[in-house]
Structure 1
């Protein structure tokens, strides 16, 4: 027993010596890999993700690691916003762009909207605002009950339809007092003959024009979302829950005009949402790296100013509640960040 005890202690000492001298050389990479593996498994569980093969899981794990490293490097800089491991964490930037960028910003909208020039051009936003306020510096249409809950377009590139529908839902509530969730799928299936191609991308102006020509838009309940292209269902489309009389385009690049419009109703806007930081945005005022490529459509539902004096836009996205701040985002205002004022329009009812 004594000989065995000596042998064991000798082995333990040797092991401790080896670990003490060699662990610093090999452990960091192994530890990082093990930590990332645990985080990947946690992320899969949190988002209900399963893969069809070990090979696919390994591929996604490698993408996940690269995304995680970038997220942590940005967050370490203590910017005014944070990034997170959201549901896009196993997608490369190219994959993300192909699946979720659906605004045809390369096609110019009509120069003249059906109801004439910008209706808020010569009236102060404060005078038009629907509720008096001591200062004209804040608007959040959610607080007024005119914004429907966050929706999820999934991997169908029809953000244009969600942006248009959100704006129509809001103006319907403002004008009639009726709150209803309207059908994006009807727009995906039925807006044809122009630029829009369902899940392959489209334009909010064409969505508005369809609603006008069709005499209204069906409810979500009557024409439910399928997250894929389909044939226009004339019977479902005949169920007209809400309608508009026209739409207007805001002068391109003019944030002051956009502010006047958003003071009175939520507005459909195009943005450059194709960047990594936009993809993984989590909270705070986004001031991140983006250009002016009109690749994604969202809805401007308000604006405000932080305690440190940073002006921001409040936007509603269509990537579900696990993206951003429960589906919403604050973007720096006053610098036309991501081209937010370049392609903005709103329905008239």
Structure 2
């Protein structure tokens, strides 16, 4: 409670949270005893939450029924499909195309953070300047999405295109909740289009990330994801229930020979 500044309204809530914490701690300790895992878990600020509570508060990807992924623009040719050579590794953070990691806090608008990070990256690559852009503008003004109740990155891109741009974080700062749309801010970045990486094609994804940071959807519903501490999150623990929008900002090869991708400063295998 002291470490993560947790305060409970009454003793009954404290007792119930303690039971959840003990269950999560037991899971962490049991997991870390396994010798075949490529990553570690630890207690964190989510350890007094159930898996369902964690997903409800901190995820926010809403995938339409009948689709398994983000499939807008799927009939349009993939922008980087003809890339012939890619390096053994890429880290867009080292290239200055990634802002410091941001925190959405308990508002299910991962879709806005994912979209903004991708636009920030391509603007740096195209224009030479890294500018922190406004997730709050998307949260308030992207009416195709559902604010803190979830959304999709492609609909966020649609808003930026149709609105003729998005403003800066400084001029329209993040409030952790949906507010009234303020359309008076001038645009700091614009995009004219976006493309979708070919579904279930890791080579295509690798080509895309070699050229720019890429918005992607992952399954963030599992207990291991909630308690993740470090190293490479292995694919056997990755499900297909797409619930979280993130941005891939690089890739490389692990010591074990797995291709790993970096997102928000953390490594994942693909």
Give the TM-score category using the shorter length.
Answer: over 0.9
Structure 1 residues 89-109: Cα deviation after superposition (integer angstroms, max 9, x where no partner): 110111111111211123544
Structure-2 separation of matches of 1:307 and 1:255? 20
Post-superposition offset of 1:113: 6.4
Map of 1:297-316 to 2, 5 A cutoff? Answer: 297-316=245-264
Structure-2 separation of matches of 1:189 and 1:57? 34
Structure-2 separation of matches of 1:167 and 1:265? 8
Of the three residues 225, 231, 239, the one matched with 1:284 is: 231
* Contact 2:72 2:154 (8 Å CA) reproduced: no
Post-superposition offset of 1:329: 2.2
Partner of 1:58: 15
Partner of 1:104: 62
* Contact 2:74 2:198 (8 Å CA) reproduced: no
Of the three residues 102, 106, 109, the one matched with 1:151 is: 102
Post-superposition offset of 1:293: 1.2
Cα distance change, pair 184–111 in 1 and its aligned pair in 2 (3 A): closer
Q: Given the alignment of the two structures, is residue 197 of structure 1 paired with residue 146 of structure 2, yes or no?
A: yes
Structure-2 separation of matches of 1:105 and 1:125? 33
Post-superposition offset of 1:137: 1.5
Partner of 2:268: 331
Structure-2 separation of matches of 1:260 and 1:209? 23
Following TM superposition, the consecutive aligned residue runs of length 4 or more in structure 1 with deviations greater than 6 angstroms are none
Q: Given the alignment of the two structures, is residue 85 of structure 1 paired with residue 43 of structure 2, yes or no?
A: yes
Structure 1 residues 206-256: Cα deviation after superposition (integer angstroms, max 9, x where no partner): 101110111110111111101111221122xx3211111110001111110
List gaps (5 residues or longer) in structure 1: 1-43, 127-135, 317-327, 334-349
Map of 1:1-349 to 2, 5 A cutoff? Answer: 44-78=1-35, 79-107=37-65, 108=67, 109=70, 111-112=72-73, 116-126=76-86, 136-192=87-143, 194=144, 196-235=145-184, 238-287=185-234, 288-316=236-264, 328-333=265-270
- Tell me the C-alpha RMSD between the 2 structures: 1.5
Structure-2 separation of matches of 1:281 and 1:211? 33
* Contact 1:113 1:247 (8 Å CA) reproduced: no
Structure-2 separation of matches of 1:312 and 1:186? 32
Higher helix share: 1
Q: Which moved more, 1:46-55 or 1:65-74?
A: 46-55
The alignment covers a number of residue pairs equal to 265
Structure-1 separation of matches of 2:186 and 2:41? 41
Query: What secondary structure, in the 3-state scheme, does the structure 1 residue paired with 2:158 have?
Result: helix
* Contact 1:153 1:162 (8 Å CA) reproduced: yes
Post-superposition offset of 1:85: 0.7
Post-superposition offset of 1:83: 0.5
- Relative to the length of structure 1, the TM-score reads 0.73
Query: What secondary structure, in the 3-state scheme, does the structure 1 residue paired with 2:160 have?
Result: helix
Structure-1 separation of matches of 2:121 and 2:73? 23
Partner of 1:3: none
Partner of 1:28: none
- Relative to the length of structure 2, the TM-score reads 0.94
Structure-1 separation of matches of 2:8 and 2:186? 40
